[in-house]
Amino acid sequence: MPDDTVTIDASGLRGIANEPGVAKPDPIIVVDGMRRAFGGIVAVDVDHVEIQRGVITGLIGPNGAGKTTFFNLLTGFDAPDTGHTTFKGEVIDGTSPHRLARRGLVRTFQLTKSLTKLRVIDNMKLGAQRQRGEKFFNGLFAPLWKAQDREVEQRADELLKRFKLDHMRDEYAGTLSGGQRKLLEMARALMSQPEAIMLDEPMAGVNPALTQSLLGHVKDLRAEGITVVFVEHDMDVVRDISDWVVVMAEGEIIAEGPHSTITSNQRVIDAYLGTHHDAPLNLSEEQARIAEDEAIAERGRHHD
């Protein structure tokens, strides 16, 4: 079977053991003993996991596996009951989300959070960090922030063009389609010039044509050296862009590895993919499936 992953050689992850909690050569995020329970339900219980810098890590798992909770814990939107997290080698336990964002760890949300009554361009400009005019008294005096604001706007316009949203620049964000909102949210996150970006189901509800361009953008992020972690259910997407896949089930990390090893991992198949999954997992399987369908159709014609 061919290796489907894109840059396993370049990522520095070649030859790493495919087991949960494996140490990586250059981790940007390290999680230790993280546990979060809601009442009696343990949503997240991760012993140890490392996220490699500069690669795309896919986080998959069945519904209710704790993926989004894990995201919330990593980005400060929720606090773990126990455990420690480091980002760029610094402990970030209990750090609030806005501080983490300033330190270069930003996220997007499963349900897009467009600022509907702000124009698209204002949505973008909001993403920029350390804006002088965002301080109350500076805000009163336009000369103090106008020049910086123009720079921010220029950068925003460039990103809008790259994400093909420039024609919507002056529209309210609320008028965008679901897919465009996903694009806007990603572009907006990039305005903060992050080192790591966490995308919660970036492709959900996006039409197939747009999916391709979104995938392209995610790969571009990696090319720029940004670490990407994303949650996704579409296995085609996971195969297409992830260098490394982490599988969660019932709050725990049950498997890690390149896409090709994950899809044949028995624990993953049992917990998530199943033996009769809806979508084919690789090319040979897809071809087999098509042949099967054609055979059925053929039989149907003979009966007529």
Partner 1 sequence: MLLAAIDWGFIFDQTLTQMVGLNAAVYAIAAIGLNVHFGYAGLLNFGQVGFVAVGAYGMGLSVTLWDLHPVLAVLGGVVFAAIFALLLGIPTLRLRADYLAIVTIAAAEIIRLMARSTALRTVTRGAEGLNEFVGPFREYNPFDASQSYGIGPVGYRGTEFFAILIGWLVALLAVLLVWTLMRSPWGRVVKAIRENEDAALALGKNAYWYKLQALILGGIIGGFAGMVEAVGKATVQPDFYVAPLTFFFWLVLIIGGVGKVWAPIIGSMIYWALITFVQNLGRQLVDQGIVPTSVMDPSQVDQIRFWIVGIALALLMVYRPQGIFGSREEMALDAR
Nearest to 259 by CA among 232, 225, 290: 232
CA distance 81 to 84: 10
Tell me how long the chain is. Answer: 304
Q: Which is nearer to partner 1, 1 or 79 (CB)?
A: 79
Under 8 Å between Cβ of 108 and 172: no
- What is the nearest approach in angstroms of partner 1 to the Cβ of residue 132? 8
Under 8 Å between Cβ of 245 and 267: no
Q: Which is nearer to partner 1, 100 or 268 (CB)?
A: 100
94 DSSP assignment = T
Q: Which is nearer to partner 1, 18 or 138 (CB)?
A: 138
- What is the nearest approach in angstroms of partner 1 to the Cβ of residue 69? 15
- What is the nearest approach in angstroms of partner 1 to the Cβ of residue 95? 12
Q: Which is nearer to partner 1, 170 or 304 (CB)?
A: 170
Under 8 Å between Cβ of 20 and 251: no
- What is the nearest approach in angstroms of partner 1 to the Cβ of residue 128? 9
- What is the nearest approach in angstroms of partner 1 to the Cβ of residue 207? 18
Rounded to a whole number of angstroms, the CA Rg of the chain reads 21
Torsion angle defined by CA atoms of residues 7, 12, 17 and 18, in that order, rounded to the nearest 10 degrees: -30
Q: Which is nearer to partner 1, 197 or 273 (CB)?
A: 197
Under 8 Å between Cβ of 142 and 148: no
Task: Please give the residue ranges that form the binding site for partner 1 (CB under 8 A).
Answer: 75, 77, 96-99, 101-102, 106-109, 113-118, 122-123, 125-127, 129, 131-136, 138-140, 142, 145, 149, 172, 174-175, 188-189, 191-192
- What is the nearest approach in angstroms of partner 1 to the Cβ of residue 136? 5
Q: Which is nearer to partner 1, 138 or 261 (CB)?
A: 138
User: Which residue's structure tokens are 């044949």?
Assistant: 264
Under 8 Å between Cβ of 198 and 167: no
